[in-house]
């Protein structure tokens, strides 16, 4: 079930946002590289013709929505999924921003807690959450005649434990910020440049992220967290988290009567490090707010706020991929290989941006693979043809160049088919995979050899570890 935020409005009458709203700020001169990325983002989103933007109210999806409104006019529609896991104030804020832009706003009511396993809070909880969102997006997009769903995912989102990205890949949702090569900091810089009022808004995450994996989630527990966080915001704290820690020894009966169904729990409050001193000065007020929300104990985390802190414990938990896997010699070898060394959240790792082309004899047919030379890293392994994106180079231009140099073909670069993130021991790899058509006969020029491979046989060859999930997807789709 969905409805427009203004049910009496005529969608066809929606105009482009007032020009002043997206007029660059005079004092925000963008570096040339970021200007190029903004132009790429505008070109990518404009190329969709129409788009349904999954809008959470955060800066990332706000930038996607603003550029979509600018490029697509009334063919850009925002969709917000409202559920128990969304903070109450964010529902209002999302509606206000869509009115600010003048775009149509569809609101659907999602029910993550009703999905089997979600309330038990498994490590792939975000997969179920994103799958629920995209399940609601599909009928709205179909009703409005929109073929493309856009998500506000940036490059930095790909480097953490993010099962939701698997769901996005399965449902065919696009990630234009990733395609344009934008990091979290660059998204904020562009949002400020376009005078979006949310440019400095604190990072958002659904309320379910406040619960350690394995701690069950309920509406009453979610409201405890939301109520406490709202109280802290009213005290003037901005970037914060209230982490819920169950106290099983006390039993459910110890929960205050004002929060029926909520367990006795400890609240671990994360504030920005520079606000810790102020937090200590407001000790009594903070403790009072926590107990009014229903917590038995209130603590202040001296390490301060850090996004994704719940993922630190994953190295102690068995992680089960939410996507189906295909058992093959290649995947067995990958599973047997030692995992990359653990990386501290604050450690900066080298990241390589590469592009690859999905070239097929016919839709659903054989896929063209190339074999790496013996003198290259990971010698004689197979992969989709492509290569590295040079600094400042447009990814589509880079792929066309690589295919000409490697295979002696002139390719037409289509839309992004998939976005692959893989953590090697020495660096993080981000690969944009484009669906391509081409003229000519592929010839091995800078690779060992090329081969057309039937989907069912893709993993019979020794393929690069980063390509395995992509090969699995192609096999599933062909089956």
223-236 average pLDDT score: 96
Give the C-alpha separation, 406 to 76, whole Å: 38
Is 474 in contact with 455 (CB distance < 8 Å)?
A: yes
What pLDDT, on a 0 to 100 scale, did the predictor assign at position 123?
65
pLDDT digits (tens, 9 = 90+) for 420-432: 888 888 888 888 8
Helices (H), 106-257: 125-144, 164-170, 176-179, 184-193, 219-234
396-408 average pLDDT score: 92
pLDDT digits (tens, 9 = 90+) for 274-315: 999 999 999 999 999 999 999 999 999 999 998 655 555 444
Residue-range domains of the chain with CATH: 2-193 (3.40.50.620), 218-308 (3.30.300), 348-478 (3.90.79.10)
Give the C-alpha separation, 250 to 258, whole Å: 17
159-185: burial string, b at 16+ Cβ within 10 Å, e else: bebbbbbbbbbbbebbbbbbbbbbbbe
**Distances from the Cα of 277 to the Cα of 202, 298, 384, 394, angstroms:** 19, 16, 53, 46
The total of other beta-carbon atoms located within 10 Å of residue 477's CB is: 9
Q: pLDDT: is 371 or 120 the higher one? A: 371
What pLDDT, on a 0 to 100 scale, did the predictor assign at position 157?
76
At a CB cut-off of 8 Å and minimum separation 6, what does 391 contact? 33
Cα-Cα-Cα-Cα torsion 295, 296, 299, 305, nearest 10 degrees, comes to -20
| Strand partners of residue 387 | 355
The dihedral region occupied by 56, where left means phi > 0, alpha psi between -120 and 50, and beta the remainder, is: alpha
The total of other beta-carbon atoms located within 10 Å of residue 311's CB is: 17
DSSP, residue by residue, 442-454: ---SSSSEEEEE-
2-29 average pLDDT score: 46
Whether the per-residue pLDDT at 392 is higher than 50: the answer is yes
Please, what is the average pLDDT of the chain?
82
Task: Specify the pairing of strand 51-54 against strand 76-82.
Answer: parallel
What pLDDT, on a 0 to 100 scale, did the predictor assign at position 111?
83
Closest CA to 415 of 393, 437, 398: 437
pLDDT digits (tens, 9 = 90+) for 160-190: 545 556 666 766 789 899 889 898 999 999 9
pTM (whole model) above 0.75? no
Give the C-alpha separation, 5 to 104, whole Å: 7
What pLDDT, on a 0 to 100 scale, did the predictor assign at position 285?
97
Give the C-alpha separation, 44 to 70, whole Å: 12
86-104 average pLDDT score: 93
């Amino acid at each position: 079930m969905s409805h427009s935020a203004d049910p009496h409005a005529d969608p066809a009458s929606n105009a482009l946002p007032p020009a002043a709203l997206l007029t660059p700020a005079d004092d925000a001169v963008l570096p040339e590289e970021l200007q190029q990325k903004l132009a790429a983002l505008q070109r990518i989103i404009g190329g969709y013709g129409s788009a349904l933007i999954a809008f959470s109210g955060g800066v990332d999806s706000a930038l996607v929505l603003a550029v979509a409104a600018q490029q697509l006019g009334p063919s850009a529609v925002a969709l917000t999924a409202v559920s128990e896991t969304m903070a109450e104030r964010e529902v209002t804020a999302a509606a206000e921003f869509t009115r600010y832009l003048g775009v149509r706003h569809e609101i659907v009511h999602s029910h993550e807690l009703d999905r089997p396993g979600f309330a038990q809070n498994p490590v792939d909880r975000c997969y179920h959450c994103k799958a629920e969102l995209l399940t609601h997006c599909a009928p709205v997009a179909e009703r409005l005649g929109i073929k493309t769903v856009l998500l506000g995912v940036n490059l930095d989102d790909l480097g953490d434990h993010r099962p939701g990205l698997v769901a996005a890949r399965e449902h065919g949702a696009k990630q234009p910020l990733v395609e344009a090569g934008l990091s979290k900091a660059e998204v904020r810089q562009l949002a400020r440049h376009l005078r979006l009022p949310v440019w400095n808004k604190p990072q958002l995450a659904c309320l379910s992220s406040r619960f350690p994996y394995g701690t069950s989630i309920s509406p009453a527990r979610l409201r405890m967290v939301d109520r406490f966080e709202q109280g802290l915001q009213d005290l003037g704290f901005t970037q914060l988290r209230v982490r819920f820690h169950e106290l099983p020894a006390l039993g459910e009966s110890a929960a205050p009567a004002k929060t029926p169904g909520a367990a006795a729990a400890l609240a671990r409050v994360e504030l920005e490090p520079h606000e810790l001193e102020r937090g200590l000065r407001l000790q009594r007020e903070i403790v009072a707010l926590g107990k009014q929300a229903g917590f038995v104990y209130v603590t202040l985390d001296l390490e301060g706020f850090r996004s994704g802190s719940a993922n630190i414990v994953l190295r102690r938990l068995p992680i089960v991929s939410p996507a189906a896997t295909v058992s093959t010699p290649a995947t067995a070898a990958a599973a047997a290989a030692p995992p990359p060394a653990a990386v501290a959240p604050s450690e900066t790792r080298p990241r390589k941006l590469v592009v690859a082309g999905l070239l097929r004899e016919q839709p659903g047919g054989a896929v063209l693979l190339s074999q790496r030379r013996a003198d290259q890293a990971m010698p004689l392994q197979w992969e989709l043809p492509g290569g590295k994106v040079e600094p400042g180079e447009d990814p589509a231009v880079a792929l066309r160049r690589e295919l000409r140099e490697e295979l002696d073909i002139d390719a037409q670069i289509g839309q992004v088919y998939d976005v692959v993130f893989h953590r090697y021991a020495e660096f993080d790899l981000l690969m944009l995979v484009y669906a391509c058509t081409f003229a000519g006969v592929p010839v091995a020029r800078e690779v060992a050899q090329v081969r057309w491979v039937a989907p069912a046989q893709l993993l019979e060859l020794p393929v690069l570890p980063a390509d395995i999930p992509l090969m699995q997807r192609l096999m599933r789709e062909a089956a």
